[in-house]
């Protein structure tokens, strides 16, 4: 019995001695874990700080670059680029359609007017008075389209033509150009020397012209007759022109010649 009692006392003493030791070990482990966690947090914070510093440095470099090159930041540029896209597309379509706003077109007066008469054209920003054959005017694209719209009949009658080199424009708008296929066009020199031609030469020349130009030459010749220009008062040539002309505009003049009002 004494032995058992001593054994029990010994176990209790050992238990009491070991208990504080275990608690101390547990406390030590918790402290180590806490310190390890704290070190990990410090490392994470340090890493984040480094990343932030690096990003800040990059931002500062970008700002300096923009300032040096006077470049607008991307957020400000984007709306501008977006808003200009429709204008760019429209511009390309205008070029492809040969309708550039800065394109110019030359128009040519295809009549020689007598007695101070004029072919008057009134357009936005332009007042034109043509008097002589071959006069030219340069129109911007808006004025040209306005001219075609307002004076279409004059183009149809070939009073106004499109200048040489604008054949594509003439074709697109279905209006006559100075060069009209195989037909000749009347020049200032041709008109000034037409009275010198023989009857055969005159007939050959007239037959190379369009119907509208034939009428123009006949009207010009008749006007010279009424001005009593003797160079044009040749009965044989007058009758030739009257026969070639579809309108027979010399009928009345020939009648007056028959009654002796005009001498050859």
Structure pTM? 0.59
| Residues 250 and 223 sit within 8 Å (Cβ to Cβ) | no
pLDDT at 44: 72
Q: List all residues 6 or more positions away from 75 whose beta carbon is below 8 Å from its beta carbon.
A: none
Give the phi and the psi of residue 2 in degrees, each rounded to 5.
-65, -35
Q: List all residues 6 or more positions away from 144 whose beta carbon is below 8 Å from its beta carbon.
A: 105, 107, 169
Q: Tell me the mean pLDDT in the region 241-256.
A: 90
Residues 3, 6, 10: CA angle, nearest 5 degrees: 140
| Residues 241 and 221 sit within 8 Å (Cβ to Cβ) | yes
pLDDT: which is higher, 109 or 13: 109
CB-hemisphere CA count at 13 Å for 204?
5
Q: Which of 163, 190, 194, 191 minimizes the C-alpha distance to 179?
A: 163
Q: Tell me the mean pLDDT in the region 121-127.
A: 95
Q: Is the pLDDT of residue 100 over 70?
A: no
Counting other chains too, the contacts that 130-138 makes at CB distance below 8 Å and 24 or more residues apart are 132/188, 133/109, 133/186, 133/187, 133/188, 133/191, 134/108, 134/109, 134/187, 134/188, 135/108, 135/109, 136/106, 136/107, 136/108, 136/109, 136/163, 137/106, 137/107, 138/104, 138/105, 138/106
pLDDT: which is higher, 7 or 56: 56
Q: How confident is the model at residue 116 (pLDDT cuts 50, 70, 90)?
A: confident
Hey, which of 7-11, 82-86, 91-95, 171-175 has the most confident mean pLDDT?
A: 171-175
pLDDT in tens, 213-228: 999 999 999 999 999 9
Q: List all residues 6 or more positions away from 264 whose beta carbon is below 8 Å from its beta carbon.
A: 233, 234, 235, 257
Burial code (b: 16+ CB inside 10 Å, e: under 16) for 110-125 equals bbbbeeeeebebebee
CA torsion sign for 179, 185, 190, 191 is negative
Q: Is the pLDDT of residue 98 over 60?
A: no
pLDDT in tens, 132-166: 999 999 999 999 999 999 999 999 999 999 999 99
Q: Is the pLDDT of residue 97 over 90?
A: no
Q: Which of 192, 202, 188 minimizes the C-alpha distance to 238?
A: 202
Residues 38 and 45: their CA atoms lie apart, in Å, by 10
Proportion of the chain above pLDDT 70, given as a percent: 72
């Amino acid at each position: 019995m004494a032995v058992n009692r001593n054994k029990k006392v010994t176990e209790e003493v050992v238990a009491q001695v070991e208990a504080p030791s275990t608690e101390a070990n547990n406390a030590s482990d918790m402290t180590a874990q806490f310190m390890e966690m704290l070190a990990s947090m410090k490392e994470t914070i340090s890493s984040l700080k480094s990343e932030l510093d690096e990003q800040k440095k990059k931002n500062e470099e970008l700002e300096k670059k923009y300032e040096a090159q006077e470049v607008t930041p991307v957020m400000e540029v984007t709306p501008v680029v977006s808003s200009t896209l429709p204008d760019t597309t429209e511009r390309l379509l205008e070029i492809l359609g040969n309708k550039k706003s800065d394109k110019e077109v030359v128009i040519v007066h295809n009549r020689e007017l007598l007695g101070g008469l004029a072919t008057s054209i009134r357009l936005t920003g332009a007042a034109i008075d043509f008097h002589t054959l071959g006069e030219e005017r340069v129109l911007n694209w808006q004025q040209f389209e306005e001219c075609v719209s307002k004076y279409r009949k004059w183009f149809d009658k070939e009073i106004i033509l499109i200048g040489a080199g604008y054949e594509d424009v003439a074709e697109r708008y279905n209006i006559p150009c100075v060069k009209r296929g195989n037909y000749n066009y009347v020049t200032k020199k041709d008109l000034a020397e037409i009275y010198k031609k023989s009857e055969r030469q005159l007939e050959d020349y007239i037959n190379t012209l369009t119907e509208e130009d034939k009428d123009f030459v006949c009207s010009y010749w008749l006007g010279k007759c009424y001005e009593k220009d003797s160079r044009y008062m040749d009965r044989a040539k007058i009758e030739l022109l009257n026969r070639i002309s579809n309108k027979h505009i010399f009928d009345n003049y020939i009648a007056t010649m028959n009654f002796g009002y005009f001498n050859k």
